[in-house]
Chain A
Amino acid sequence: MKLENRLRTGPTPSLLVIGHDRTNILLDRRAAVVAASAGILVIILMILAVLLGDFPLTISEVMDVFLGRGEALVRTVVLEWRLPRAMAAVLFGAALAVSGALFQTITRNPLASPDIMGLANGSYSGMILALVFLGGSWPMLVTGSLAGGLAAAAIIYLLALRDGLQGFRFIMVGIGVSAMLASLNTWLLLRVDLDVALLASAWGAGTLNSITPATLIPTGFSIMMLLCLVPAVSAPLRQLSLGDDAAASTGAAIGPARLAAIVIAIGLVSAVTAVSGPIAFIALSAPQITRRLAGTAEIPLGATGVVGGLMLLVSDLVAQHVIPLTLPVGVVTVVSGGLYLVWLLVREARRTT
Chain B
Amino acid sequence: MTAPPLRSQAATLSYDKRVIVEDLTFDIPAGSFTAIIGPNACGKSTLLRAMAGLLAPAAGQMILDGKGIASLAPREIAQRLGLLPQTAIAPEGITVAELVARGRYVHQRLLRQWSAEDRQAVDDALRLTNVTELADRRVEHLSGGQRQRVWIAMVLAQQTPLILLDEPTTYLDIAHQMDVLNLLHELNAAGRTIVAVLHDLNHAARYASHIIAMKAGKVLAAGSPAQVITAATVSAVFGLETEVIPDPVTGNPMVVPHDTRA
Contacts and interface: CB of A to CB of B under 8 A. Distances in A.
B73 interface: yes
Given A243-B87, A245-B85, A251 B52 contact: no
A14 to B, nearest CB: 8
B113 A10 contact: yes
B112 interface: yes
Interface stretch (A23-31, A55-63, A273-281, A328-336): A23-31
Interface stretch (A115-123, A128-136, A206-214, A231-239): A231-239
B49 interface: yes
B248 interface: no
Contacts of B90: 242
A26 B105 CA distance: 13
A298 B92 CA distance: 8
A253 B78 CA distance: 11
Given A25-B113, A235-B110, A243 B93 contact: no
Given A11-B122, A296-B93, A297-B92, A246 B110 contact: no
Interface stretch (B26-34, B96-104, B226-234, B251-259): B96-104
Given A241-B89, A243-B85, A252-B74, A10 B101 contact: yes
A17 interface: yes
Interface residues of A, number: 39
A250 B115 contact: no
Contacts of B171: none
B78 A250 contact: yes
A162 B16 CA distance: 9
A64 interface: no
B87 A17 contact: no
Contacts of A232: 110
A246 B136 contact: no
Contact of B106 (A13, A243, A250, A295): A250
A298 B91 CA distance: 7
Contact of A13 (B92, B93, B116, B136): B136
A250 B102 contact: yes
Contacts of A52: none
A352 interface: no
A108 interface: yes
Given A108-B89, A244-B87, 19 more contacts: A11-B98, A12-B97, A12-B98, A12-B135, A22-B115, A23-B111, A24-B115, A163-B15, A235-B110, A242-B89, A246-B88, A248-B53, A249-B83, A250-B158, A251-B75, A251-B77, A251-B79, A251-B106, A253-B73
